[in-house]
Structure 1
Amino acid sequence: MEKNKIVIGLLGESGSGKDTVANYLKEKYSAKLLRFADPIKETLNIYFEKSSREDQQWLALEFRKRFGADILSRAIRKKIENSEGLIVINGIRFWEDFDFVKSFDPGHTLYITADQKLRWKRTAQRGEKADDNVAFEKFQEVERSETEVHIPEIGGKADFTIRNEKDLEFLLKS
C-alpha cells in the first residue's frame, strides 16, 4: 500500500459528469484533483486564452508520438509522488493512463457515462471549451477521434461504473 495515499482515476466521455464527481470528492473528502490533460492545458494556456477540445486532442497525440505513450502519466506521477490522502485523477483516455492508476496500491477506476445526446446537451450548456457549443454531428465526430474512441472499452474494465442520466442528487449518491 502506498504511504497514506488512495488514487482514484475517473474516465468517461465528454459531458458524462467526471468534473462533478471530482469536485464532489474534493469538497467532501479534501481530495487533491489532477487531470491527465493538465500538462496539455498548461501548455496551451501559455499561448491562448481558451483552447478547443480539438487543440487539446492534437497536442496530446503529438506529445505521445514524440515523448512516448506514457508521457502524461509521467507528468502526473511527478505531481503526486509526495502527496498523501485521496488523489483523484480525471480524464483517463488511454490504456497507459488506466494502467498508471492501477499501479497504485490502492488504485481504483470509476467510469462515468451517459447517453450521447444528453452528454452533448450538457457540454453545450457548460461552454467550458471553445468548441463546446457544436452541432450534434460534430460532437459525434469528435467522439470518434483517437483520444476519445477507447474510453468505452477502457470503461468496461473499470472497477466501478455510474450511468449518469438522472439528476445531481442521484449522481452524488452513486
Structure 2
Amino acid sequence: MATRAERGRHLLNWVNLSTPLGLTVAALGGARIRRGPSRCYLADHYRWSFPVAGAFTVGDVVVSRHDLDRLLAHRPGLLDHELTHSRQWAVCLGLPFLPLYLASMGWSWLRTGDRAARCVFERHAGLERGGYLDVPTRPLGPVLARGVRRVRDRARGRDRIPSAV
C-alpha cells in the first residue's frame, strides 16, 4: 500500500506532466516499461546513450540502459536515490527541475571538476547511493581565469590548427 506522501508525489508528477514526459522518453528510447515500487515506473533496456548515467529519473519514471532488476540487486540504495529525484521533480513542479538541475550540475563541475559532487540534487539524493564520489572543491579563481584565457584565445584565433604549407 502506497503511503500518503507517495500518492501525493505520484499525483503531482502526473499533473505537472513530468511522468508523462518520462514515459514518452522511455518509450522513444525503446525501454521496457513496467510498474515498480512506491508508485513509480521502471523502464530498462533504454537504447539512447544520453544522458550518461546508470539510471536517471523523469517524474516517476526510473530509466536505465541496463536491466533494472540486476542493477538494483547490485546497488540496493539506487532506487531510493532515484525516488528522491522523483520527489525533487514534484517539488520543482515538473519541467523547472531540468534547468535547476543543469545549473546545479554546472556549479558542481565549476567547483570540483565533477558533475555530481556539489550538485545540490545529487547530494540530497545521496551521492554514494547514486554511485557518485564526494570530490573536494577547488579554488574558483584559477578555474575562472583558465576560462577567460580560453575565450580570449579563441577570440584572437589562437585555438585554430595551423594549415599545412
Name the structure where strand makes up a greater proportion of residues. Answer: 1
TM-score normalized with structure 1 length: 0.24
Higher relative contact order (CA 8 A, sep 6+): 1
Structure with max Cα Rg: 2
